Structure 1
Amino acid sequence: MKTLQNLIDGQWADSRGEIFLDLVNPATEEVIARHPAGSPEDVETAVAAAIAAQPAWAATPVAERAQRITAWADAVAAHADELVELECREMGKPLGIGRTFLDGAVAGLRAAAEEALSYDFERTVVRPDGARTRILRHPLGATAVITPWNFPVTAVLAAIGPLLASGNTVVVKPSERGPLSVVRLLELADMAPGVVNLVLGDARAGTPLAEHEQIRLVHFTGSVATGKRVGAAAGLRLHRAVLELGGKDPVVVDAGVDPVATARAVAFGAFINTGQICTSMERVYVHCDVAEPFVEALVAAAEGFTVGNGLDDGVMLGPLVDRRQRDLVARHVEDAVHKGAKVRTGGGVPEGKGFFYPPTVLTDVDDSMLVMTEETFGPIAPVVVVDSFEEGLERAARSKYGLAATVYTADPDHIDASARIPAGVTWINQWQGGGPERLYEPAGDSGMGATGARAAFDAATRPASMHIPAATA
């Protein structure tokens, strides 16, 4: 059985900790690898390597840094099938879905390299009297990227491009529930020693990394509770944090839309990756004029998803990542049913091996239920019938979360009104979408720190000005 190692200063090495964790295939419940639980000593060594490598990396011309990043993107693209299979084995994502998101992540990494070539790391403003002000964007130094298990490779690539392109070095700490594909991802990175480092483990690695005095920025994607601790640790040290945390994303379905086509789109947004996406549709508000055909079509779409091992042909939904996650999903459904919700399809833990749960549609739900207030992260679509579009918007905004939202409407005024939903991203008549120009910051408990487009480079650099009088040569 493979025992995973850390990557520190360009060398793969065993952890200095003595505790190891088993990595379990969630479709078969077989142990497929073991990896370190993490240790402060591993983190200290990795951070020291990142600090030592940072001056030379920052002095490397931007074009060369961008070229290295692009070469990494090329290598990831060439090994995409391998990476997607590893993700499937460690967290259950079907191959087709995994490939779609991985291709998007590669495109994002290329876009970050391209953006670096036009970003104003330095510009000069000349005043009428001849005096000059040089505005410089300095890299922060050693940074950390702490990523979740639902998109192991994609989450690393989404965060790391602007950090590296800006001249920072990075210590990556993937989730202990999905490290296998990230190890392979780092094997494909042709960087100078210490520029990109990897430490494995759970909170025994994550906490000392997030709290390290010399980590100047932590880019964290994960739970609200952990994200708040990461943000607090950064604040105490006057360091930066970019936090993308939980979501309970709403979808508002207006009167006048095609209820069948919209239901199919909502089914995809609610169930794909077994609902294990931060921006999954977790609350559905449908106008009473189209509610009946919408719910019928949503149930039919749910029953059309093939559930099974993501390595098998034709499988659309794999397992949940582990027993703990499936127990949480089941508990949310049981709580809803106990409080009066009606299960229209799904709603039970199947027999046999694997942490599977069927696509589930619930009606007669209300805000007393966990499935409407807490992040479920499973293939559950709770549906609320509303009397007006305005009521749908109001209820969509009634959440402590504010990651993303989706609105289906044919009314231009309603499209404009949708901007009132407190969310970092609002999609109209589609789920997902937008190009590299997309810029957002989560609202509420869903996080803080703007990302996307040039905002990611702003976060990765520190502005400074140099004022030069006209008399100076």
Structure 2
Amino acid sequence: MDHTDLYINGRWHPGAEGARFDVVNPATETVLASVASAEIADANAALDAAETAMKDWAARTPRQRSEVLRKAWELMTARLETFAHLITLENGKAGADAMGEATYAAEFFRWFAEEAVRADGILTHAPASGARIMVQHKPAGLAVLITPWNYPAAMGTRKIAPALAAGCGVIIKPASETPLTMLALMPLLEEAGVPPGLVNVLPSRRTGALVDHMLHDPRVRVVSFTGSTGVGRKLLHSAADQVLKPAMELGGNAPLIVCHDADIEEAVAGTMLAKMRNLGEACTAANRIYVHDSVAADYTRRLSAAMSELKVGDGSDPSVDVGPLVNADTRDKVAGFVQDALAKGARLECGGDIPAGKGYFYPPTVLSNVPETADCVHDEIFGPVAAIQTFQDEDDAITRANATEYGLVAYVFSRDMKRALQLCERLEYGMIGLNRGLVSDPAAPFGGVKQSGLGREGGHEGMLEFMETQYISASW
């Protein structure tokens, strides 16, 4: 690995205290690299660098910032295979899935290159007072970005690109399991024209103390986090002390509803995408599958056949469809969900056994007749397990789908567009996949309701998360 140190002010640093930690290949359980672990002094250096760099960056014209982001997209697009390979090594996902993430990650640079020039304000005439109302959007300030291990490229670019488009400097803290991809992105950003100090990367095993320190620095005005709801709550507590702008993309418990009139082939294909993208290690993964009783047998048979055909193995093998889970704890948690469901009356349709040998593998698994008391109904599985329940009444399906503290994404499959849209409007979720198993798109506002988060990433809204609205009242 070319870069395993901290990236501060455009240079590589071993860290103030020289501490390091290992990054492990989940397919082989071998050490990929030893990475520097940031401490408080490193965070202070990064904040100083970002503060200095942001003064010039925020003063640049929107078009100048846009051109740098456009160049970043061009450079990353030319190197997709390199980034995909690195994603597979540290995260484990299969080659095609890793290439999909790398492509998706690069697209955020292109999208926000286009959005950088569209932070439109307004000028209007106040009806009562006669004053002019002038509204503009300004860079909010330094942003602390905290990303998860499941998308080591895309979750970083989804935050970095809008922050730079808005005119902000950033410090990014990647997940300890997968820091290599984000470190590898930094030379590319340098080549694109991002000035030294504007983007800083601080891998660390002391995440809690490091982030809490930065969130209490008065120069920091935005915190953007993707991860579990539990950690998100703690960050919100820390953010409250400085009244920071929080952008929180938190946990999910996505329902997938297959109506009686659904195109079953389309529903199975959509389920495979919603369930198996990134091996189910995604907050958007279909977690609870509700199938109308009249089509449940056909749907279950077809889904089980499709899941059984997937080849499990090291993602670096191009013939492999399903790589390993990220670590042993994740694999064991998934196995525990399956055993719990079976003990409570679920039926195993395929999969369900941890293979022998090295690597954190778990096979694609389908469970039918899953009871409402099963743990996997109430918690994110975060693995390749499809848990099927049935329903007869759509009102009951909606009630069960909404019976969770989460509200990130839901999926609906039906040929009747009018009724399908009515169902979508009744679902308490920030995003709906209607007759498709993929909702993530740089051009769309990604985010949830209830305890699935605050704010939106992507779309026009994603850039505004890093801006403040200023209103000027004037008369002339």
TM-score by length of 2: 0.94
Task: Report SS of the residue matched to 2:460.
Answer: helix
Residues 202-233 of structure 1 deviation map (CA, whole Å, 9 limit, x = unaligned)? 31534433444421101100111111111111
The aligned residue for residue 376 of structure 2 is 371
The answer on 1:31 being equivalent to 2:34 is no
The aligned residue for residue 188 of structure 1 is 188
Task: Report SS of the residue matched to 1:317.
Answer: coil
Q: Which amino acid aligns with 1:430?
A: R
Q: 1:434 to 1:372 in 2, by over 3 A?
A: closer
The aligned residue for residue 430 of structure 2 is 424
Decide whether the 8 Å contact of 2:263 with 2:413 is kept in 1.
no
CA-CA distance at 1:109 after TM superposition: 1.9
Decide whether the 8 Å contact of 1:272 with 1:317 is kept in 2.
no
The aligned residue for residue 271 of structure 1 is 276
Decide whether the 8 Å contact of 2:432 with 2:439 is kept in 1.
no
CA-CA distance at 1:390 after TM superposition: 2.4
The answer on 1:247 being equivalent to 2:260 is no
Structure 1 gaps, min length 5? none
Q: 1:240 to 1:419 in 2, by over 3 A?
A: same
Q: Which amino acid aligns with 1:63?
A: R
CA-CA distance at 1:130 after TM superposition: 8.0
Q: 1:51 to 1:135 in 2, by over 3 A?
A: same
Q: Quick one: which of 280, 287, 297 aligns to 1:292? A: 297
CA distance in 1, matches of 2:360, 2:213: 31
User: 1:399-410 to 2 correspondence within 5 Å?
Assistant: 399-410=404-415
The answer on 1:45 being equivalent to 2:48 is no
Decide whether the 8 Å contact of 2:273 with 2:438 is kept in 1.
no
The answer on 1:200 being equivalent to 2:203 is yes
Q: Which amino acid aligns with 1:429?
A: N
The aligned residue for residue 132 of structure 2 is 132
User: 1:288-367 to 2 correspondence within 5 Å?
Assistant: 288-367=293-372
The answer on 1:63 being equivalent to 2:69 is no
Residues 144-198 of structure 1 deviation map (CA, whole Å, 9 limit, x = unaligned)? 1111111111111111212111111111111001011111111210211111111
Decide whether the 8 Å contact of 1:42 with 1:205 is kept in 2.
no
Decide whether the 8 Å contact of 2:410 with 2:433 is kept in 1.
yes
CA distance in 2, matches of 1:365, 1:46: 49
CA-CA distance at 1:366 after TM superposition: 2.0
The aligned residue for residue 100 of structure 2 is 100
The aligned residue for residue 450 of structure 2 is 444
Decide whether the 8 Å contact of 2:170 with 2:198 is kept in 1.
yes
Task: Report SS of the residue matched to 1:418.
Answer: helix
The answer on 1:215 being equivalent to 2:227 is no
CA distance in 2, matches of 1:407, 1:94: 27
The aligned residue for residue 455 of structure 1 is 461
Residues 73-128 of structure 1 deviation map (CA, whole Å, 9 limit, x = unaligned)? 111111111111001000101121111222122223211110121221x4433569
Q: 1:92 to 1:392 in 2, by over 3 A?
A: same
Q: 1:55 to 1:3 in 2, by over 3 A?
A: closer
The aligned residue for residue 167 of structure 1 is 167
Q: 1:308 to 1:436 in 2, by over 3 A?
A: closer
CA distance in 1, matches of 2:85, 2:440: 27
Residues 237-283 of structure 1 deviation map (CA, whole Å, 9 limit, x = unaligned)? 11111000111111000002232442233123212321112101111
CA distance in 2, matches of 1:337, 1:8: 50
CA-CA distance at 1:437 after TM superposition: 4.6
CA distance in 2, matches of 1:87, 1:336: 32
Q: 1:211 to 1:303 in 2, by over 3 A?
A: farther
Decide whether the 8 Å contact of 1:3 with 1:34 is kept in 2.
no
Q: Which amino acid aligns with 1:110?
A: R
Decide whether the 8 Å contact of 2:25 with 2:89 is kept in 1.
yes
Decide whether the 8 Å contact of 1:302 with 1:361 is kept in 2.
yes
CA distance in 2, matches of 1:450, 1:380: 28
Decide whether the 8 Å contact of 1:2 with 1:32 is kept in 2.
no
Task: Report SS of the residue matched to 1:189.
Answer: helix
Decide whether the 8 Å contact of 1:397 with 1:421 is kept in 2.
yes
Decide whether the 8 Å contact of 1:37 with 1:205 is kept in 2.
no
Identity of aligned residues (%): 31
CA RMSD after TM alignment: 1.9
CA distance in 1, matches of 2:394, 2:132: 54
Task: Report SS of the residue matched to 2:225.
Answer: strand
The aligned residue for residue 19 of structure 1 is 19
